[in-house]
């Protein structure tokens, strides 16, 4: 079952090489620099509720208008499939350094970051330089890289993408891979939206503070922040679950939308069944290590198959309708997992290990999700 389309529109902003200031009467509201710590409630972005806030997309100037439009359309479909969680900001970086710098400057202005902090972030996974270098260095080994970057203390979701080669029709990068990447990263927004940041706000931590910010508290006990991060990770679960479910849900949804002619395709299109077949081969070859427990060795590929296995035990909508909405009801992933799927994680790993030994002709019988409900 798919969630109904919410009444929302995208706010799309092109960032030119020399960004102009908005006139005073059209000044764009900036996010709050400091979290209202006296408020014990979570920010909307981490409340588990859908939002009326418009996702905002910021394109570097060297992203073509055609690619930008396709990006918007794909994101629109992801939101209509899984719900609008936000506020969400999305930055799409191109290949030109000047344009990446301009986009990064705009990002820092919205955060009210100091010049030093802005410069330090530029080459990290929270900075546009990191993604510009990825696009510039891929050459014939083209690929689009993207990340959901944790912004718990600032109360919003941040997604950053390197140049979408497939949407730009460059370097023979498959179109459906970029489409699936957009869905994949938005799934991480859905996941994290259900983890409350109320506890973090109650700790007395200002948003984005570091030693270069004027409100920096050098006596702050950062172990409290680390405890929040540890508790968050305990609820999210292992990598195979977080990333495997994102891969599974994204490729499945893109395959359905292409079949319904709601997403364009080209000659590079690979069906969801073919993608899952490839994932099984890659997973068996690269995600199993002698002496390493299955739960520690599984990654994206076998994680996608593990997701398929679990949803066959229950229902395709169990993640959206049960597991994620009840994340804060349980202290950790294991407890939520057992209630949701009706077996302990230990029992699941034993069953899934046996499943991986079956001939592929038996394994592929799990792929019953290609039929629209």
Number of structural domains, the chain? 2
Is residue 358's pLDDT more than 50?
yes
- The answer to whether residue 181 is domain-embedded is yes
Whole-number pLDDT of residue 53: 92
DSSP state of 17: S
Of 20-24, 30-34, 69-73, 245-249, the poorest mean pLDDT is in 20-24
| pLDDT over threshold 50, residue 11 | no
CA dihedral 295, 159, 65, 163 (to 10 degrees): -60
pLDDT value at residue 24 = 34
User: What integer best gives the mean pLDDT of the chain?
Assistant: 85
- 294-337 residue pLDDT tens: 999 999 999 999 999 999 999 999 999 999 999 999 999 999 99
Same domain assignment for residues 189 and 250 = no
Q: What is the pLDDT of residue 226?
A: 85
Whole-number Å distance between alpha carbons of 339 and 320: 15
Do 268 and 361 fall within a single domain?
yes
At 212 the pLDDT is 56
Q: What is the pLDDT of residue 134?
A: 86
The pLDDT of residue 248 = 97
Q: What integer is the mean pLDDT of 127-139? A: 83
Both 50 and 110 in a single domain?
yes
Give the model's pLDDT for residue 325: 97
Model confidence band, residue 17 (pLDDT cutoffs 50, 70, 90): very low
CA dist 301 and 277 (Å) reads 10
Give the DSSP H or E segment for 78.
helix 65-82
Average pLDDT on 75-94 reads 97
Whether 145 is in a domain gets the answer: yes
Residue with token string 């301009």: 102
329 shares a domain with 275: yes
88 and 157 part of one domain? yes
- Taking only the tens place, the pLDDT of each residue in 41-57 is 899 999 999 999 989 99
360: domain range?
Answer: 239-366
Is the same domain home to 217 and 244? no
63: nearest Cα among 6, 121, 13 = 13
**Residue in 167, 241, 157, 152 with CA at minimum distance from that of residue 205:** 152
- Mean pLDDT check: name the lowest of 62-76, 139-153, 240-254, 323-337: 139-153
Let me know whether 284 and 208 are in one domain: no
Identify the band that residue 1 occupies on the pLDDT scale cut at 50, 70 and 90: very low
Report the C-alpha gap between 309 and 88 in whole angstroms. Answer: 31
Pull the structure tokens for residue 181. Answer: 């990447």
Q: How far apart are CA 331 and CA 347, in angstroms?
A: 20
């Amino acid at each position: 079952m798919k969630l109904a389309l919410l009444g929302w529109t995208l706010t799309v902003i092109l960032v030119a090489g020399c960004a102009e200031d908005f006139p005073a009467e059209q000044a764009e509201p900036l996010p709050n620099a400091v979290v209202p710590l006296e408020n014990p409630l979570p920010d909307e972005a981490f409340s588990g509720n859908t939002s009326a806030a418009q996702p905002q997309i910021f394109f570097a100037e060297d992203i073509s208008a055609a690619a930008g439009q396709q990006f918007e359309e794909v994101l629109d479909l992801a939101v209509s499939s899984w719900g609008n969680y936000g506020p969400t900001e999305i930055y799409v970086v191109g290949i030109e350094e000047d344009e990446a710098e301009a986009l990064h400057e705009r990002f820092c202005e919205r955060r009210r970051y100091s010049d030093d902090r802005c410069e330090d972030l530029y080459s990290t996974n929270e900075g546009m330089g990191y993604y510009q270098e990825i696009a510039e260095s891929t050459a014939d080994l083209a690929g689009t890289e993207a990340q959901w970057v944790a912004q718990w203390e600032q109360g919003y979701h941040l997604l950053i993408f390197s140049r979408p080669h497939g949407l730009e029709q460059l370097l023979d990068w498959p179109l459906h891979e970029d489409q699936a990447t957009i869905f994949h990263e938005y799934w991480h927004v859905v996941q994290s939206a259900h983890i409350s940041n109320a506890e973090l706000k109650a700790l007395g931590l200002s948003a984005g503070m570091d030693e270069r910010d004027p409100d920096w508290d050098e006596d702050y006990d950062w172990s409290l922040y680390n405890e929040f991060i540890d508790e968050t990770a305990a609820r999210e679960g292992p990598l195979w679950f977080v990333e495997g479910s994102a891969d599974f849900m994204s490729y499945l949804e893109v395959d359905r939308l292409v079949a319904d002619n709601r997403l364009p395709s080209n000659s590079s299109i690979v069906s969801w069944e073919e993608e899952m077949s490839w994932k099984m081969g890659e997973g068996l070859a690269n995600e199993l290590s002698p002496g390493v427990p299955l739960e520690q060795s599984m990654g994206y590929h076998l994680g996608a198959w593990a997701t398929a296995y679990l949803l066959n035990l229950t229902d395709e909508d169990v993640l959206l309708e049960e597991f994620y909405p009840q994340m804060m009801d349980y202290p950790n992933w294991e407890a939520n997992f057992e209630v949701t799927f009706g077996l302990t994680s230990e029992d699941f790993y034993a069953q899934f290990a046996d499943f991986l030994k079956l001939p592929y002709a038996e394994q592929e019988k799990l792929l019953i999700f290609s039929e629209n409900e």
